[in-house]
Chain A
Amino acid sequence: MGQAITVTVNGEKRSAEVEPRLLLVHFLREKLRLTGTHIGCDTTHCGACTVLVDGTPVKSCTMLAVQADGQQVTTVEGLVAGGVLHPIQAAFKEEHGLQCGFCTPGMMLTSIALLKENQDPSDDEIRWALSGNICRCTGYMNIVKAVKSAAVQMKAAAEVPAATAAARS
């Protein structure tokens, strides 16, 4: 028995009829064919399926699709803007923040939420924020480096327009 939902995914309104038992991750992967969100453990442990729901990291294997009705969901596919990588993506690439890449979408989305709240996180703060995301290649050193590097880039990018505006006034 279907239930009608409308979810804004990566800025685009998507409507569908779904069974109430359908998990958000299945809605994204199977209904919308957004397969960048990975299913890892399927038991709420690994964080591979993490997406942002109204800006907050959520394990999409542990939320029903019907619960996302009327909400904003961001997946890894929503990070590229106009063909340009998001600073977190560029930093993961530059710093070798991935090996097999399976955990990477979840790592990046959790990192984005961290950097929104904390523009200059310490190594400890990054590790703490990412402690719900498991990298089975154990490539944590470079993941932390990548988040730090993205923080620097994003801070600089935020300061440039502000400085330009200040110079103009």
Chain B
Amino acid sequence: MLPAPFEYHAPRSVDEALDLLDQFGDEGKVLAGGQSLIPLLKLRFASPGHLVDINTIKDLDFIEERDGTLRIGPLFRHKAAERSSLLASRYHVMADAAPQIADPIIRNRGTIAGSVAHADPSGDWGTVLLAMDADLILRSKKGTRTVKARDFFSGPFSTALEPTEILSEIRIPAAKPMTGGSYLKLERKVGDFATVAVAVHLVMDDGKVGSAGIGLTAVGPQNLKAEKAEASLEGARLDDAAIKQAAALAAEAADPKADHRGSVEYKRNVVRVFTERGLKRAYERARGGG
């Protein structure tokens, strides 16, 4: 299969890329890892007139903790996340998710930012960022703005990102002591989209829940943030009753569709079970275990 014809641009700097995007408007599209975009081009679900490849720009492949913030660059790839000792030690929800993205060969090229910008409701990273309350930095020729992950997704494959903008950085509040997380995903086989997945990012404070982030994958028109479940946990002791209540609220927040992967009832029940398990695992990790 061949994509429809397009012009290809390989800018050497972000400014040059932004100039190009500004010039092309709706006809421009950013190419990062390409593991979602190139299949879309081949199937002709997308046929932009101009591709702006950012792989030729130096210094976009980074992850660093600075000034109380974890910063992730637009070319930081799944494989690097999978191997990051920083993520493994302090950002468990990301470390859990990384090896569950697609398959190992796709992870060699695909990027976190690209996956988020693609905004597949069955994508994993958007859910993780919702649980972590991430900020997305959107840069265009006209300037830079910051959008919360919860305000970024607006429907299937739809986001706040304008065609003239690049998702130039993902910012996550640096992990405090007593932080734990987990990402549980049910998939039929490696490389299949999630039937259901649940992200949990838990910060404990003096024996009680400081904050709890819960994200849901593949059970709605976009990645969901289970805000009622999160609110029910804030300030609570994380006992069985609190966990059960949060899990029930997360299941209520899910809005799945029946398909060959399962019925509505089944998927909602998986959300409940995974939220319970995820909270327990995150709690253990926050206390230095598992």
Contact = CB atoms under 8 A, between A and B. Distances in A.
Interface of A: 1, 3, 19-23, 26, 42-45, 47, 50, 56-59, 61-64, 66-67, 69, 110, 128-133
A59 B39 CA distance: 11
Nearest to B37: A62
Given A19-B5, A47-B103, A64 B38 contact: yes
A110 B108 CA distance: 11
Interface in B91-121: 102-106, 108-109
23 contacts: A19-B5, A20-B5, A20-B7, A21-B6, A21-B41, A23-B42, A43-B42, A44-B38, A45-B191, A50-B105, A56-B108, A56-B109, A59-B105, A62-B34, A63-B38, A64-B8, A67-B34, A110-B104, A128-B104, A129-B104, A131-B104, A132-B104, A132-B106
B21 to A, nearest CB: 17
B34 A63 contact: yes
B8 A66 contact: yes
A44 to B, nearest CB: 5
Contact of B108 (A22, A45, A58, A61): A58
A83 B43 CA distance: 40
Interface of B: 1-8, 10, 34-35, 38-39, 41-43, 51, 53, 55, 102-106, 108-109, 190-191
A66 B43 CA distance: 19
Contacts of B51: 20
Contacts of B190: 131-132
Given A23-B38, A129-B104, 17 more contacts: A3-B8, A20-B6, A20-B7, A20-B51, A22-B2, A26-B2, A42-B42, A50-B105, A56-B109, A57-B104, A58-B109, A62-B106, A63-B109, A64-B38, A128-B104, A131-B103, A132-B103
A138 to B, nearest CB: 13
Contacts of B102: 132
A55 to B, nearest CB: 10
A30 B4 CA distance: 18
A133 B108 CA distance: 14
B120 to A, nearest CB: 13
A105 to B, nearest CB: 13
A67 B55 contact: yes
Contacts of B53: 66-67
Contact of A59 (B5, B43, B106): B106
A110 B41 CA distance: 25
B104 A44 contact: no
Nearest to A106: B105
B39 A23 contact: no
A129 B41 CA distance: 27
Nearest to A70: B56
Contacts of A131: 103-104, 190-191
